[in-house]
Amino acid sequence: MAGYLLETGWYCVLATAHLSTSTADLLDHWCSKEATDRPLNIASSIYGWFVPTRQIDPGTQDQLPAELLAAIRFGRERGFDHILFDCDAGTADGLPVHSW
């Protein structure tokens, strides 16, 4: 395809341990819903979830757990488009860590 510009993005990989088990359950629940019925347009992976880091309107922020908002802010402040939460990834300083 002549003239097509390849779209790219930048993401970081964070441990799912930065999320509580109740938030993990919530992300799984959201992934089972239609995209239009989710507060965030997230996607599941075999080991976790892809979560966008774009600015979130206040009404949606009220639906998100604090540790998820903190991770989204962490990614956005570092210039990432998305976070891949992965069960095998390492943890980052400055974010809460939960024992599963």
Residue ranges of E strands in the chain: 11-15, 43-44, 48-52, 82-86
Residue 96 and residue 88: Cα distance in Å, rounded? 16
In-domain check, residue 53: yes
**Domain count of the fold of the chain:** 1
Contact yes or no for 5/78 (Cβ under 8 A): no
Neighbouring residues of 22: CB distance < 8 A, sequence distance ≥ 6 = 65
- Enclosing domain of residue 23: 11-86
In a domain? residue 100: no
- Is 67 a domain residue? yes
Q: Tens digits of per-residue pLDDT, 22-45?
A: 999 999 999 999 988 999 999 999
Phi, psi for 82 (deg, rounded to 5):
-145, 165
Name the token pair of 78: 């570092």
Strand partners, 44: 49
Q: Is residue 96 part of a domain?
A: no
High-pLDDT (> 90) share of the chain, %: 87
Q: How confident is the model at residue 6 (pLDDT cuts 50, 70, 90)?
A: confident
**pLDDT bucket at 66, cuts 50 / 70 / 90:** very high
